[in-house]
Amino acid sequence: MLPRGRGRLKALGAGLLLLLLLLSGLYLLSGDLACELVSGPTGGGLLSQPGPRRRPRVSPAPLQMAACYCLPLAPEGPLQDWGLRFGLWRRRIGSFGRSSGAGGPWGDSRPRVHVSSLPPTLQLLHVAIVCAGHNSSRDVVTLVKSILFHRKNPLHFHLVTDGVARNILETLFHTWMVPSVFISFYDADELKPEVAWIPNKHYSGIYGLLKLTLPRALPPTLARVIVLDTDITFASDIADLWAVFARFSDKQVIGLVENQSDWYLGNLWKNHRPWPALGRGFNTGVILLHLERLRQVRWEQMWRLTAEQELLTMLATSLADQDIFNAVIKQYPWLVYPLLCSWNVQLSDHTRAEQCYSEVSDLKVIHWNSPKKLGVKNKHVEFFRNLYLTFLEYDGNLLRRELFGCISGPQTEPSQTRQALVELEEDDACYEFRQQKLTVHRVHLTFLPYEPPAPHPHDVTLVAQLSMDRLQMLEALCRHWPGPMSLALYLSDAEAQQFLHFAQASEVLSARRDVAYHIVYREGPLYPVNLLRNVALGQAHTPYVFLSDIDFLPAYSLYDYLRTSIKELSLATRKAALVVPAFETLRYRLSFPTSKTELLSLLDAGSLYTFRYHVWPRGHEPTDYARWREAQAPYRVEWAADYEPYVVVPRDCPRYDPRFVGFGWNKVAHIMELDAQEYEFLVLPEAFAIHLPHAPSLDISRFRSSPTYRLCLRTLKDEFHQDLSRRYGSAALKYLTAQRQL
């Protein structure tokens, strides 16, 4: 027993010193973790910015390592040649599945540069995820958020996806712009034949089995990868899991956590006969794959032979890839490195998960591997649920932060945008508008299950945008418009979850698969109305689009009528915009007119008005409502200043000008551009849509109350006119003149 106070402190000090020495020793012994001081140009790699930014510390922390800077060079070989630095990822994203010949599509002649001398936080870590469909794509985002939240390393995600998930995740990561994150896609369809012959009863379908093909599907130069299921949540830094690779023996090739359910014990019910496994078997929700060695031990032959052999007596796999992994391990037990169970805490009912942890800090990775997901029974489910909800609702924009000590690569999109933002003058009165226009919003396309409509030459998609306060319009809109819709929703991450609950709970909404909901994540003070319109417009899959607004309900017959009109007016060969006359009700409850005749009588009775009749008649005056009353056939009208009708146009029409954010001029500018491109405006005699009442938006309130806001709108208008003149020459003069005459 040491004396209290100083003596004890000395002992503590000495102990700490010894510990420090020991750790440093261990550290230097471990090649994969060794650190090298990077202090100059990196010599012709992807990055060549000058380096020495090392600073002395005020007071050295215990276990502090030499300060190094981040090299997003691929530490595993010639990956750096691929241009996978995120800003460039689109150039080289390809399908790497089903490689053929030695070394796959990359050849085998390149020198292997093994850059394993990076300090732990600068090492590039590789993660592979198999993901298919709309719902799994949402899950992947939550998983990735939980990884990014804790990570300190550059990460390379290898995503094996179907077409749906690829479309979603490509756009998402492209717009997310997280520094030091690299993405590669692999086409699941190309890999499917490798496993399609295996009968399978698991709910993950064929996609679970695809994990077996990863050693072949991933680049042959890739030595190690962490493979994750989509129903995983990280509660710790993934680098700590990666570090376990260093503990593998020479023969160990797969790191796995033991199963926490009794499945493989085979005693769950009478005649329960699971696939063979070592004891409780292993769970494949989290896998450390030592790809290099797997290729050496001829993994592919190994699992194929085992599967074929077992399938002689088993009818199918019950747990997809997990059955096969376990059968292989049963046969070759030296292949497996058993991971601590905290790396895959399995929240099925009745598992032994609780034996895995006694403290929060023991929880590294949570696996929601019950079909009940958040509803699973577990003593600490509240804790797990809160952890999961933390990432579900976490503002993904906050994960765009640069890693510490990382020098940026070549000029990438994020930093270009950042540069433009930096160059904005903060004392510009319209700073907010310009900043909003420059903001890159994360976009999650088709947030809910969606099936594009069958191709039809005259089909038309309703295009609109909304935020949370207009959700209640969706059901009515679905009732009025039986055709395809493409809707952009401007939401925060938390609101996106509320929307999800709302849509799933709604019978009307969940019955539809032809409505595409695209989430544009909120950022900045002004509503980016035209960006939203462009996102929705860009995702329309029919030849024509009806550019509407969320507060309008179309006539019940409009969808059919538009398709007929498009055909009859031969829009395929005629550059025209079909005008849908707009009306408004000021009633909460309107018995919606089922015909033009009914509409006209409501108009005469004062129950309906032409749109904005009281406050802004100019916006729709050129539609000529008096003529429309009598019209039996479509009639052409001429553009006039401030005209902003709702129109049907081909999908490839001009995009909206994203400089108009918040309230004002966002549609006017678009219609002007249609006119500049010589679209005819044809008013349809039987078409109509009715605007329902709502409270004025915050933006219109700001417009009304703020002289600066109005001034900025004027400035933006002027700049738009200048751009128009530049693009359309003297023909655009008429817009300026028309504007001035008002």
Q: How far is the CB of 407 from a second copy (least distance, A)?
A: 12
Handedness of CA 580, 584, 589, 592 (dihedral sign): negative
Using the rule CB under 8 A, which residue among 286, 403, 516, 690 binds a second copy?
Answer: 403
Residues between 370 and 399 with contacts to a second copy, criterion CB under 8 A: 380, 382-383, 386, 389-390, 393-395, 398-399
Q: Is 606 in the site for a second copy (CB under 8 A)?
A: yes
Contact 193, 100 (CB under 8 A): no
Q: How far is the CB of 431 from a second copy (least distance, A)?
A: 13
And the tokens for 300? 């592919």
Determine the Cα–Cα distance for residues 294 and 301; give it in Å rounded to an integer. 11
Radius of gyration of the chain (CA): 30
Q: Is 429 in the site for a second copy (CB under 8 A)?
A: no
Q: How far is the CB of 461 from a second copy (least distance, A)?
A: 24
Using the rule CB under 8 A, which residue among 108, 189, 354, 678 binds a second copy?
Answer: 354
Q: Compose the 578-597 pattern: x for residues touching a second copy by CB under 8 A, - for all others.
A: --------xxxx--------
Q: How far is the CB of 352 from a second copy (least distance, A)?
A: 6
Of 246 and 733, which CB lies nearer to a second copy in the complex structure? 246
Cα first-last separation, the chain: 94
Q: Is 30 in the site for a second copy (CB under 8 A)?
A: yes
Using the rule CB under 8 A, which residue among 45, 83, 240, 357 binds a second copy?
Answer: 357
Q: Compose the 452-471 pattern: x for residues touching a second copy by CB under 8 A, - for all others.
A: ----------------xxxx
Q: Is 100 in the site for a second copy (CB under 8 A)?
A: no
Q: CB neighbours (10 Å) of residue 295?
A: 15
Q: Is 417 in the site for a second copy (CB under 8 A)?
A: no
Q: Is 203 in the site for a second copy (CB under 8 A)?
A: no
Residue 18 CA: distances (Å) to CA of 5, 106, 357: 20, 48, 29
Phi, psi (degrees; rounded to nearest 5) at 157:
-95, 125
Query: Which DSSP string corresponds to 564-610?
Result: HHHHHTTGGGS-EEEEE-EEEE--SS----SSHHHHHHHHHTTSEEE
Determine the Cα–Cα distance for residues 642 and 675; give it in Å rounded to an integer. 12
338, β-bridge pairs: 256
Using the rule CB under 8 A, which residue among 102, 111, 250, 741 binds a second copy?
Answer: 250
Contact 323, 271 (CB under 8 A): no
Q: Is 696 in the site for a second copy (CB under 8 A)?
A: yes
Q: Compose the 209-248 pattern: x for residues touching a second copy by CB under 8 A, - for all others.
A: -------------------------------------xxx
Q: Compose the 119-158 pattern: x for residues touching a second copy by CB under 8 A, - for all others.
A: --x------------------------------x------
**Closest of 520, 593, 526, 598 to residue 553, by C-alpha:** 593
Q: Is 701 in the site for a second copy (CB under 8 A)?
A: yes
What 8-state DSSP symbol labels residue 200? B
Q: Enumerate residues 6+ apart whose C-beta is below 8 A from 394.
A: 145, 149, 493
**Closest of 331, 322, 340, 323 to residue 255, by C-alpha:** 340
Q: Is 605 in the site for a second copy (CB under 8 A)?
A: no
Q: Is 8 in the site for a second copy (CB under 8 A)?
A: yes
Between strands 646-650 and 680-683, the pairing is unpaired
Contact 244, 339 (CB under 8 A): yes
Determine the Cα–Cα distance for residues 236 and 698; give it in Å rounded to an integer. 40
**Closest of 269, 54, 228 to residue 126, by C-alpha:** 228
Residues between 40 and 99 with contacts to a second copy, criterion CB under 8 A: 54-59, 61, 64, 67
Q: How far is the CB of 692 from a second copy (least distance, A)?
A: 7
Tell me which stretch binds a second copy (CB under 8 A): 191-199, 321-329, 500-508, 559-567.
500-508
Q: Is 25 in the site for a second copy (CB under 8 A)?
A: yes
Q: How far is the CB of 13 from a second copy (least distance, A)?
A: 8
Q: Compose the 524-563 pattern: x for residues touching a second copy by CB under 8 A, - for all others.
A: -x-------------------------x------------
Residue type, 201: K
| DSSP 3-state of 461 | strand
Query: Which DSSP string corresponds to 176-216?
Result: H--TTEEEEEEEHHHHGGGTTTS-B-STTHHHHHGGGGHHH
Q: How far is the CB of 333 from a second copy (least distance, A)?
A: 16
**Residue where the block lists tokens 């996806």:** 161
Residue type, 564: T
Site size toward a second copy (CB under 8 A) is 98
Tell me which stretch binds a second copy (CB under 8 A): 8-16, 225-233, 673-681, 707-715.
8-16
